[in-house]
Amino acid sequence: MTDRINQTLRGPRYGALLLWAWLSLFVGAVCAEAPRTPVPPAAAIASAHPLATTAGFDILAAGGNAFDAAVAVSAALAVVEPYSSGIGGGGFWLLHRAADGFETMLDGRERAPLAATRTMYLDAKGEVVPDLSMDGALAAGIPGEPAALAHLAEKYGRLPLSQSLAPAIRYAREGFVVDEYYRRLAEFRLDALNKSSEAAQIFLNKGKLPELGYRVLQPDLAVTLEALAREGHAGFYSGEVAKRLIKGVRAAGGIWTAKDLEDYRVVEREPIRGEYHGINITTAAPPSSGGVVLVTMLNILAGYDLAALDDVTRTHVIVEAMRRAYRDRADYLGDPDFVSMPIARLTHPFYAEGLRASIRLDRATPSTDLPGAQPAVDGPHTTHFSILDSEGNRVAATLSINYPFGAAMVVPGTGVLLNDEMDDFSAKPGVPNAYGLVGAEANAIAPGKRMLSSMTPTFMETADRVAILGTPGGSRIISMLLLGGLEFAAGEAPQAWVTRPRFHHQYLPDVIQFEPGAFDALVQEDLNALGHKLSEQSSSYGNMQAVLWEKATGKVDAASDPRGVGSAEVRGVVVPQMLAR
Ligand code: DON
């Protein structure tokens, strides 16, 4: 470099001056680019499966950043957690780039096929046929995850997509071992899986629940992932894979066309932002309802000193905040490319002040006393992971194929397990689906529209502490984020956010759902006395994955929900700066 400069210099004095000017510019630029915040001493990954966490660390060790690791973790989960997410599904990836503080949400949500109609899940009498939006080819939206992974690698990553996909391809080819968690979810979907011979052949053992230790091999999925690795976006959305997808889906009664796949695009959305007692919240934007509902709840609760309240009153005001924020969800929210929404109003502290003014401390507000709306959606599976790299880049991602094993159908010759995310639309405004779920006009089916979601990948940040968190759990995702976030606000460690007992209210049904053991008998009695109806759930719910970086002390911590089989690790993997873009 110095030689090159010297060759261009015309004389020693002029040259020295120029060199001095150049050096000061260079030093100035370096100083100006020096990070304003400290960097973490280690990287952390919390995900719902140990093989996915390992894949993420392998990619960090190979010189990748958090975004490359997110590609690796997403793809690995798509293989080893087939009941939760996959390349036949979609999700939201919330990103924070340390170098310039840039934040965005990658919207890789599924879209309704272009041939979708409002009445596609209704029978001749106009009644909803529930299975149609849950099992088989007609239930599947156009997948977004492959597009999101290609976009993530290309625009934010540092390694080639093929390198970050390599661990997942290996897991697909060499297989992974069935655990108790897998068996529980496969049992739940046994009948549906047996309706697709490809799905049964891959995920079951001769039509039966595979025993513990059974190895699930997905050679076709490995080939499809290789096409994605080789050709990027086009490897999935056009060419041989696309041809097979269209043929297989249509043969099974689906309505996908080549244009659906050609047209699919990831959208970068400005995250929803809020503030709670000095904590900056960055969270999921529509077509997720999660961020708006979370910020509304926190805005309501900002008016109370929660720590000073007794247990029952604290639970009561949290429930009342949930009731009010969830009420708005079904009424207003949908795909921002299709419906206009009063987001600024819903997330404004003044709006929350009005809602708070209607909360009485001595009595529950019956949901029927609030202006009418419909209950929010729920569903039994999905996944989340959180990543922090040693530069301070962050990813919070929640991914889904909706029900366990999605639509329970694998498209022949592709290994692609289809999602049944179409069930997140309201099949008929006001009419509940099989899970008691209904929606409104904003979430009605339309060609090319994204269905409303509750997935809420979130960052919470103060001057000293950064939290990266999220969870599956359908409509309960948002209330889990609230409870986990309040633990963060109270100064607790990630282990407390992910383990704390959970309760939930979603406006309708007008009942507080709670995990076994979340409330003792006395608290239940007192909540009843305030007018709350209680419903103890038969089992626990959620699978939160969380990372904390304490900038002040330099400590990095991570935790994986004990309700799942995931793993959270902190490792001293330093991203080589040489490779930095
Ligand atoms: O996008 C949604 O809101 C749902 N498809 C998520 C489903 C879910 O979280 C199920 N998890 N347990």
Residues 98-118 have pLDDT tens digits of 999 999 999 999 999 999 999
Q: Which of these, 143, 139, 145, lies nearest to 192 by C-alpha position?
A: 139
pLDDT the model gives residue 496? 98
Burial class (CB in 10 A: 0-12, 13-18, 19+), 26: exposed
Query: Which single residue is written with the structure tokens 């699978």?
Result: 543
Structure tokens at 527: 């909540």
Q: Residue 24: what residue type? A: S
How many Å apart are CA 162 and CA 340, to the nearest integer?
Answer: 39
232 with 161: CB under 8 angstroms?
Answer: yes
Give 162's Cβ-side CA count (13 Å radius). Answer: 7
Local confidence band at 37 (pLDDT 50, 70, 90 cut-offs) = low
Local confidence band at 14 (pLDDT 50, 70, 90 cut-offs) = very low
pLDDT the model gives residue 283? 98
% of residues, the chain, pLDDT over 90: 83
Distance 222 CA to ligand 1 centre (A): 26
Q: Give 79-91 pLDDT, tens digit per residue.
A: 999 999 999 999 9
Local confidence band at 361 (pLDDT 50, 70, 90 cut-offs) = very high
How many Å apart are CA 216 and CA 231, to the nearest integer?
Answer: 26
Ligand 1 near 472 CB (within 6 A):
yes
Local confidence band at 439 (pLDDT 50, 70, 90 cut-offs) = low
Q: Is the pLDDT of residue 393 over 90?
A: yes
Give 249's Cβ-side CA count (13 Å radius). Answer: 29
Local confidence band at 426 (pLDDT 50, 70, 90 cut-offs) = confident
Integer CA distances (angstroms), 337 to 293, 443, 452, in order? 19, 12, 12
Q: Residue 334: what residue type? A: G
Ligand 1 near 402 CB (within 6 A):
yes
Q: Give 266-293 pLDDT, tens digit per residue.
A: 999 999 999 999 999 999 999 999 999 9
How many Å apart are CA 156 and CA 508, to the nearest integer?
Answer: 41
Average pLDDT, the chain: 91
Partnered with residue 324 across adjacent β-strands are none
Q: Residue 452: what residue type? A: L
Distance of alpha carbon 533 from its chain centroid, rounded? 30
pLDDT the model gives residue 331? 81
168 with 222: CB under 8 angstroms?
Answer: no
Bridging pattern class, strands 416-417 and 410-411: antiparallel
Q: Is the pLDDT of residue 56 over 50?
A: yes
Q: Give 143-168 pLDDT, tens digit per residue.
A: 999 999 999 999 999 999 999 999 99
How many Å apart are CA 15 and CA 186, to the nearest integer?
Answer: 73
84 with 403: CB under 8 angstroms?
Answer: no
Ligand 1 near 455 CB (within 6 A):
yes
Query: Of all atoms in ligand 1, which is nearest to the CA of residue 403?
Result: 10
Q: Give 449-476 pLDDT, tens digit per residue.
A: 999 999 999 999 999 999 999 999 999 9
Query: Of all atoms in ligand 1, which is nearest to the CA of residue 454?
Result: 3
pLDDT the model gives residue 451? 95
Q: Is the pLDDT of residue 490 over 60?
A: yes
Structure tokens at 426: 């309201």
Q: Is the pLDDT of residue 33 over 60?
A: no
pLDDT the model gives residue 577? 47
pLDDT, mean of residues 231-238 = 98
22's enclosing H/E stretch is helix 12-33
Spatial strand order of the sheet with 394-400 comes to: 267-269, 103-108, 90-96, 394-400, 383-388, 43-47, 567-571
Ligand 1 near 477 CB (within 6 A):
yes
Distance 307 CA to ligand 1 centre (A): 31
238 with 244: CB under 8 angstroms?
Answer: no
Q: Residue 302: what residue type? A: A
Ligand 1: which residue has its CA nearest to atom 6? 474
Q: Is the pLDDT of residue 242 over 90?
A: yes
Distance 70 CA to ligand 1 centre (A): 19
Classified as helix, coil or strand, 107 is strand
Q: Is the pLDDT of residue 570 over 70?
A: yes
Local confidence band at 427 (pLDDT 50, 70, 90 cut-offs) = confident
Q: Is the pLDDT of residue 36 over 60?
A: no
Ligand 1: which residue has its CA nearest to atom 11? 381
Structure tokens at 68: 């490359």
pLDDT the model gives residue 314? 98
Local confidence band at 575 (pLDDT 50, 70, 90 cut-offs) = low
Which has the higher per-residue pLDDT, 27 or 260? 260
Query: Of all atoms in ligand 1, which is nearest to the CA of residue 451?
Result: 1
Query: Of all atoms in ligand 1, which is nearest to the CA of residue 476?
Result: 9
pLDDT the model gives residue 431? 65
Q: Is the pLDDT of residue 27 over 70?
A: no
Q: Give 501-560 pLDDT, tens digit per residue.
A: 999 999 988 999 999 999 999 999 999 999 999 999 999 999 999 999 999 899 999 999
Local confidence band at 18 (pLDDT 50, 70, 90 cut-offs) = very low
Residues with a known catalytic role = 382
Q: Ligand 1 test: best mutation among 189, 294, 385, 400, most atoms within 8 Å of CB?
A: 400
